Amino acid sequence: MSKKIPKVRIIPLGGLGEIGKNINAIEYENEIIILDCGLTFPEDEMLGIDVVIPDITYLLKNKDKIKGVLLTHGHEDHIGALPYFLKKISVPVYGTKLTLGLVESKMKEHNIGNENLNVVSPSQKLKLGSFEIEFIKTTHSIPDSVAIAIHTPAGTIVHTGDFKIDFTPIKGEIMDLHKLAEIGKNGVLALMADSTNVERPGYTMSESMVRSTFHDIFMNAKQRILVATFASNVDRIQQVIDAAVEFGRKVAVSGRSMVNVVSIARDLGYLDVPEGTLIEINDIDNYSDDKVVIITTGSQGEPMSALARIASSDHRKISLMPGDLVVISASPIPGNEKTISKVINQLFKRGAEVIYEALADVHVSGHACQEELKLMHSLLKPKFFIPVHGEYRHLKQHVELAQSMGMNRENILLMENGDVAEFSKDRAKIVGTVPTGHVMVDGLGVGDVGNIVLRDRKHLSEDGLIVVVVTISRENGSIVAGPDIVSRGFVYVRESEDLMGEARNVVKRALMECESKNIKDWATLKSSVRDSLRNFLYEKIKRNPMILPIIMEV
């Protein structure tokens, strides 16, 4: 009898063909482990949506098989959906100290206990069922990031997480290239690698390059300084604090997520803040302008962020003054260019000086460029390759990069979310798909807003609403009161009295016609009112508002 060939499956449920929402399932026989569990932020057409999380239908069906969740680092697109996941599937979570510190804070907000959280250190090994897991130190724009090697009976799978190769990191050790080379020497079945910066040639600059820029800015500035950056970029925050200390400035922190991360990173020893450096935001007016720096959120121009509110004079505690120096220490995430540009223009209008990426080296990426990706491929020498973390164009270009290094195209899987890839020692193929997609979170509602609700919201936002209220007689269907018409976001009623008067007559005629035909069915009455009013309004002013007829009987 022939021996059964071990097979392992890789199932990406998010993070492919998109930036964010990263989550992957690795499945061997009756066991599953999850890599990351992130969220993404809504696209423009997702009106009123707060965040978007992955569809975990497949994992819910197979929750008894899940051995645990492994986290690569603490960015929102890798840990943000974890509280929603853990409410439905209670399993152990493994991550480094800072990553789990940030996760724990999220879980408190969601009233979930932290009994599932298990701290691991880079170079630590872990056994979960048939899987042997190694965490490998990497460098990224947040400390404590790791790549993960998963040793299975079918072979070793390596997931790089988000990384860049930084030989002069701000804090901690450099990337453990030696360990990666060792794993590569022992044989890698499949590599899953970050594709975010694959379009950029060369190398990503070291985070420490920003240090000299900050030094020059702080040395020459005589005014108040505001620095906007990602809350999770702890190394960048450290550099702002270092420059502030060197030039005798106090540091205030603004923005809920920024306050949260600074507090956690400080408590866990990832931020070095000399005693007396941090001050409350309420106390900034007690110091002269050349003695204050404010670190704030809003580097992506998010409408409700601290920087956007400062720019539009909506911030309760920080008033922008002419001459203030604003440093935007981030680059736009694809799709955010317009909102950032709007905030920069507002800041200039208010008399501020603004320094952003186009004007100075105030930001470096946290993701590997082409030469670093080539180094990762050459160290690990994978048999098969799956590009991950990127829009379709990024994944496609990462395929071409792997081919340029001599990899056979047949050994590269260009996958989509929901594809199931099966690997044995010598073969890799896509064998099926599982349900996947967006789950939209609006307030406390998770997944209760779907495409139909979004379509209605879009309709309301573009064309407005008309409510028609009519009271009819139960006995003969004649109109007793009304029709009354109330509109929102359609026309300014006081200036459109004639139009509204005509609209009332159109509704009246439609109801009288139904009465003459002895139609008393409410659905037909509403449909008649809706159709006649829609046709009238479109004919008159070429608009299609949402029409809600309300019919009452007395």
Residues tagged in the binding site annotation for Ca(2+): 48, 50, 442
Q: Does residue 483 have a cis bond before it (omega within 30 degrees)?
A: yes
Rg over alpha carbons for the chain, rounded to the nearest Å, is: 29
298 - beta bridge partners? Answer: none
Which whole-number Å values give the CA distances from 4 to 1, 27, 154, 169, 426, in the listed order? 9, 17, 11, 46, 14
Q: What whole-number distance in Å separates Cα of residue 70 and Cα of residue 294? A: 35
Active-site residue, from 151, 367, 377, 394: 367
Q: What is the Cα–Cα distance from 78 to 40, expressed in whole angstroms?
A: 9
Catalytic residue among 194, 235, 324, 419: 194
* Residues in the annotated binding site: 48, 50, 73, 75, 77-78, 140, 162, 231-233, 363-367, 389, 442
**Inter-axis angle of helices 392-404 and 370-380, nearest 10:** 60
> For residue 466, what are its two tokens?
């008309």
Please state whether beta strands 51-54 and 438-442 pair in parallel, antiparallel, or not at all (unpaired).
Answer: antiparallel
Give the HSE-up count for residue 270: Cα atoms under 13 Å, Cβ half-sphere. Answer: 27
What strands, in cross-sheet order, belong to the sheet with 250-254? 278-279, 250-254, 292-296, 225-228, 325-328, 353-355
* Dist. CA 356–CA 240, nearest whole Å: 15
Rounded distance between C-alpha atoms, residue 153 and residue 322, angstroms: 65
Q: How many Cβ atoms are within 10 Å of 254's Cβ, its own excluded?
A: 23
Q: How far is CA 89 from the centre of its chain?
A: 21
Q: What is the separation of C-alpha 310 from the centre of its chain, rounded to a whole number of angstroms?
A: 23
Active site residue 194: yes
- Give the integer Cα–Cα distance in Å for 318 and 303: 16
Rounded CA separation 100/116 (Å): 10
Task: Tell me whether strands 292-296 and 225-228 are parallel, antiparallel or unpaired.
Answer: parallel
- Annotated binding-site residue numbers for substrate: 231-233, 363-367
d(CA 392, CA 334): 13
Question: Both tokens of residue 237?
Answer: 């925050």
**Binding-site annotation: residue ranges for Zn(2+):** 73, 75, 77-78, 140, 162, 389
What DSSP element (H or E) covers 375?
helix 370-380
Residue 315 a catalytic site member:
no
Residues labelled as active-site residues? 194, 367
